Amino acid sequence: MKRNARFCLDAFAWLAWLQDEPGAAAVQRCLDEAEQGRGECVTSIVNLGEAYYRLIRIDRREKAESLWRMALLRALPVSVKEATQRRVRRAAELKASHAIAYADAFAVATALEFQATLLTGDPEIKPLVGEQDLEVQWLPQRP
């Protein structure tokens, strides 16, 4: 990991980490680097919300609530970025021109705004790689 790297976690990354899926170790490394002041992690409130609802759907409400509290109370070394007018517009523009989910558009918009490497394994993001200087660190797909 390059010194003072900045990463943007999407819902795919959060879920991989929380469910100890392939890719969890890569997410943990980013969180550890941020905790030690050698990196930074950001996430969109929309992507945090996506991870929250997806955990609830699989009967993991307690884990969803824990993630929500830890992220918003800054118990995790992650800066949660609000859905500002600027980010909403950029996400809408990305959604309008690409076949991606709206939440994925927020992940990309947040990564671009903060010049962060997007940490994801979501195949919908692949067509955007290299566009507008988007950098992606790919996490393995779920089995």
Q: Are 47 and 111 in contact (CB under 8 A)?
A: no
Residue 1: the pLDDT is 52
Rounded to whole angstroms, the Cα distance separating 74 from 130 reads 31
How far, in Å, CA of 73 to CA of 2, rounded? 27
**Single-letter amino acid code for the residue at 104:** D
For residue range 14-53, list pLDDT tens digits in order: 999 999 999 999 999 999 999 999 999 999 999 999 999 9
**What dihedral angle (degrees, nearest 10) is formed by the CA atoms of 142, 36, 134, 129?**
-30
Name the average pLDDT for the chain: 95
Start-end of H helices in 24-117 = 24-35, 45-57, 61-72, 85-97, 102-113
- Domain 5-138: which CATH number of 3.40.50.1010, 1.10.150.20, 3.40.50.150, 3.40.50.1110: 3.40.50.1010
pLDDT at residue 60, as a whole number = 96
* Residues 71, 37 contacting (CB under 8 angstroms): no
* Angle 6-129-98 from CA coordinates, rounded to 5°: 115
**Which parts of the chain have pLDDT scores under 50?**
none
N- to C-terminal Cα distance for the chain? 26
Task: Give the integer Cα–Cα distance in Å for 78 and 86.
Answer: 20
